[in-house]
Every structure is written in C-alpha cells, then in structure tokens.
Amino acid sequence: MRIHLSIVGNVSSDIVNDVAKTLSEAFQAEVSLSYINSIPLDLYVPSRAQYRADAVNLWLSMKFSKVLNKVDFLIALIEYDAYVPGLNFVFGLASPYLKLTSVYLYRLKFMLPSSNEGKKLFKERVRKEVMHELGHLLGLEHCPNIYCVMHFSNSIMDTDRKSWKYCNLCAHKIKSLGININHEYIL
C-alpha cells in the first residue's frame, strides 16, 4: 500500500513521525510526505470559525491530483478545526471516492494535561483518528465495539476510550480486500 501524508499548517514532527510509523507498521505501507502552509480562505466559514471539511477534501483532490494517480490513498493532517453540514465539528472526514481523508487536529487537543502525559495522549488521539479515517477509505463503516478504532466518536471522551486497533471483525473485512494488517494492530 502506498500512502501520501500531507501536512497542513503547524503539525509537530513527533506527530508526523508517529503517523508515518503507524501506517508503515500496520499496513506495510510506503509513506511519502508533503507540507502545505495553509488552506485557501474561501474554504473558511468566519461565522463558525471553522473550515468546511467536504470542501477541503475537494480542494485536496485537485491540489494532489497527480499524487493521487501514484498512491492508494492521501491522508491530510490539518491543524485547524472543521465541520460538515449537520455536525458541529468533525475530527476527520473520509472521501473514499476521492481516495483521501482529512484529519483535523484542533479538537484532538481538547482536555489535555499540560505534561508529557498530554503529549502522549494527543499522539494517541491523532493515531486513532488516522486509523479510523483510513478504515473508512478501506470501506469500513462505524463499528458497535466501543474499543474498536472504527467506533464513532461523538466526543473526545469516546476517542479516548477506544483503541487505535481494529476489532477482529473489522480486521477480517480489511484482510478480505487482500490487504495485510499487522496483528499488533488488531484487538
């Protein structure tokens, strides 16, 4: 599997390295990187102080159209906040038909202790969201198992409760696609 990781805004190298390592280990993925300073302002909704996630995904698909022809998936780590109509916010948004997902880090920083434990927890939250959104790109739906990474997170507490691993049922669905997944990433 080939995955392009696009970093948008000020995302720490610790987070980028952890996500790249996780994807590489979990799926034996080849991970490439690129960096973007910002998102076009016309995708920002001032009245909400958020970006429109579905519009961001369309923009990413145009910006990376040549890259998307060479990789299986694109994952964008974005430092900002975003929403889609009908929801107050999203942690991430997968667009399987575009072969890409965006992960928004802003709300993953909520309720973090200001210590090394906070940095560790933030890294875990980002890892969970990346694995969740990639699961959607692979065709997985939300899972009823509250510990599976594919369980829907309605709040940061839901994210903290679940693992960054796939349950046996979700892992089986991934394997049925002919995709290898490291057993250490299965509950």
Q: Crossing angle of helices 116-137/13-27, nearest 10°?
A: 40
Q: Annotated catalytic sites, by residue?
A: 133
Measured CA to CA, the distance from residue 140 to residue 120 in angstroms comes to 27
By three-state DSSP, how is residue 68 classified? helix
Order across the sheet with 92-95: list the strands. 30-36, 2-8, 73-78, 100-104, 92-95
